[in-house]
Amino acid sequence: MSNFGYVAPSTVEETLAVLQRATDQGQRTQILAGGTDVIVQFRSLDSSHRLFVDIKSLKETNDVRIENEHIFVGAAIPSGVLNENAELKALFPGLLEAADLIGSTQIQGRASIGGNLCNSSPAGDTIPALIVNSALCVIATSEGTRTVPSEKFVTGVGRNCLAAHEFLLGFQIPRPSAGTGDAYLRFIPRTEMDIAVAGAAVSLSLNHEGICERARVSIGAVAPTPLLVSSAAEALVGTTADEDALQQAAQACSDAAQPITDKRGTVEYRRKVVGVLCRRAGAIAKDRALSNRN
């Protein structure tokens, strides 16, 4: 009668085989990492039968590899564990802070960046931070792996580019050059425990004269998917990321936003606040870039 199942494969191959077999048999599968979105949605929105495929026993999804060119971060590592990695925190303070903002201490013990991305909420806190860090999503497929830029991963509210028999292994993120800093800020009504009403991530690289040579700006919770706002980045490149430039980037974010009114905020509110957050996050990113110049 009932058709619930749980498996925790120990290799990528086994995981893919389980997914393929279930897809062939018409059984619904549910990839499980930290479960802090999956189990909530299972309990309160759709409790239909499914096979839970727990990917936390895989080496790859728990891996952190810090190499010269790239840094690999496994998809299923709990944020609480990531935030204990000082090296990672020094490389991507904005991304790690974004991960740290997700939920309570208890949620931090489970919630992962990969899960946050795969949940594909417009308000996922780590997604703008992944985007500004030019993270590539590494996806396991039957042919091996494929990569997708993080700004292309989410395709709609709760939708993404993963096929039924695929799953996310982790992220390959370029090592930031000297003089680079990132930051992420979100707005919530309380101090903790809320979903972002708006969020903004900024990464910028300053040269020795303090001129911004590269910038990426991404905003969340103000459109069906997190957005990469190139007009905001353009407002920063070639400037010292001073107040004027940051204000222009903020305006570009407000202009790029396509928010809705819902229980968490209004169109007007989100449009205005996302600009404020961009400006404030930009100032933090600039400070970090300045202190990273050697």
Partner 1 sequence: MAEVANFKAIGTRPIRPDGVEKVTGRANFGADLNLPDMLHGKVLRSPHAHARIKRIDLTKAQAMEGVYAAISSADFPQEVTSSLSRNILARDKVLYHGHALAAVAARTPRIAEEALARIEVEYEVLPPVLTLDDAMREKATLVSEDLRTNDDENSPPSNIAATQRFERGDVTKGFAEADVIVQEEFRVPSAHQGYIEPHACVATSNPGGRVTVWCTTQGPFEVRSATAGVLNKTVSDIKVIPSEIGGGFGGKTVVYFEPVAVRLSELTGKPVKMVMNREEVFRATGPASATLCKIKVGAKKDGRITAATAWLAYEAGAFPGSPVGPGCMSVFAPYDIDNFLVEGYDVLVNKPKVAAYRAPGAPQSMHAMECAIDELAQKLDMDPIDLRLKNAAKEGTIAPYGPKFPPIGLVECLEAAKRHPNYVNKTSEEVGRGVAVGFWFNIGMQSSAEVNIAEDGAVSIMEGSPDIGGSRASMCLMAAETLGVPYETINAHVGDTESTGFCNLTGGSRTTFATGLAVVKACEDVIAQCKARAAMTWELDVEQVDWRDGQAVPKPGVNIDVEPLSLADIAKTMSRTGGPLLGRASLNAQGAGACFSVNWTDVTIDRETGKVDVKAFTAIQDAGRAIHPAYVEGQMQGGAVQGLGWALNEEYIYNENGVVENASFLDYRVPVASDMPMIDCEIIEVPNPSHPYGVRGVGETPIVAPLAATSNAVRDLLGFRINDLPLSPPNVLAAIDAAD
Partner 2 sequence: MSKIYVSATVNGRPEDVLCEAHQTLLDLLRDEIGLTGTKEGCGTGDCGACTVLLDDRLVCSCLVLAPEADGKEITTVEGIADSQDGLHVVQQKLLEHAALQCGVCTPGFVVAAKALLDKDPNPDEKTIRYWLAGNLCRCTGYDKIIRAVQDAAQELTPTK
Q: Rule CB under 8 A: which of 259-288 touch partner 1?
A: 262-266, 268-269, 272-273, 276
Q: Which does 263 bind (CB under 5 to 8 A by kind): partner 2, partner 1, none?
A: partner 1
Judged by CB under 8 A, the chain residues 148 through 187 that form the site for partner 1 are 187
In this complex, which beta carbon is closest to partner 1, that of residue 70 or of residue 272? Answer: 272
DSSP-derived secondary structure letter, 292: T
Half-sphere CA count of 138, side-chain side, radius 13 A: 18
Please tell me whether residue 195 binds partner 1 under the rule CB under 8 A: yes
From the list 22-30, 59-67, 158-166, 194-202, the region that binds partner 1 by CB under 8 A is 194-202
Q: Backbone phi, then psi, for 200, in 5-degree steps?
A: -145, 135
Q: Which residues pair with 29 in a beta bridge?
A: 51
Contact between 217 and partner 1 (CB under 8 A)?
Answer: no
Lookup: tokens for 191 = 């101090």
Residue 189 bridge partners (DSSP): none
Shortest gap between Cβ of 209 and partner 1 (angstroms)? Answer: 30
- List the single partner that 109 binds among partner 1, partner 2, none, CB under 5 to 8 Å by kind: partner 2
**Residues at the contact surface with partner 2, assessed by CB under 8 A:** 1-2, 4-6, 8, 32, 34-36, 39-40, 42-44, 47, 51-52, 54, 56, 78, 80-81, 103-110, 191-193
Q: How far apart, in whole angstroms, are the C-alpha atoms of residue 49 and residue 27?
A: 9
Amino acid identity of residue 136, one-letter, is L
Number of residues forming the site for partner 1 (CB under 8 A): 24
For residue 85, the minimal CB distance to partner 2 (Å) is 15
Residue 32 binds: one of partner 1, partner 2, none (C-beta under 5 to 8 A by kind): partner 2
Residue 195 binds: one of partner 2, partner 1, none (C-beta under 5 to 8 A by kind): partner 1
Chosen from partner 1, partner 2, none, partner binding at 266 (C-beta under 5 to 8 Å by type): partner 1
Angle between helices 267-291 and 93-101 (to 10 degrees): 140
**From CA 133, how far away is CA 228, in angstroms rounded?**
11
Selection from partner 2, partner 1, none that 220 binds (CB < 5 to 8 A by kind) is none
Q: What is the DSSP string of 167-181?
A: EEEEEEEEPPPTTEE
Which among 112, 162, 157, 118 is positioned nearest to 139, based on CA atoms? 162
Indicate the SS3 state at residue 166.
Answer: coil
By CB under 8 A, name the one of 190, 208, 209, 294 that touches partner 1: 190
Quick note: the x/- pattern for partner 1 over 224-263, rule CB under 8 A, is --------------------------------------xx
Minimal distance in Å, beta carbon 47 to partner 1?
7
Residue type, 45: L
**Smallest gap, in angstroms, from Cβ of residue 103 to partner 2?**
7
Distances (CA, A) of 216 to 128, 173, 199, 200, 205: 10, 14, 14, 11, 9
Question: Do residues 32 and 139 make contact, with C-beta atoms less than 8 angstroms apart?
Answer: no
Tokens 């961009």 found at: 278
3 state SS of 253:
helix
Footprint on this chain of partner 1 (rule: CB under 8 A): 1-2, 43-44, 47, 187, 189-195, 197, 262-266, 268-269, 272-273, 276
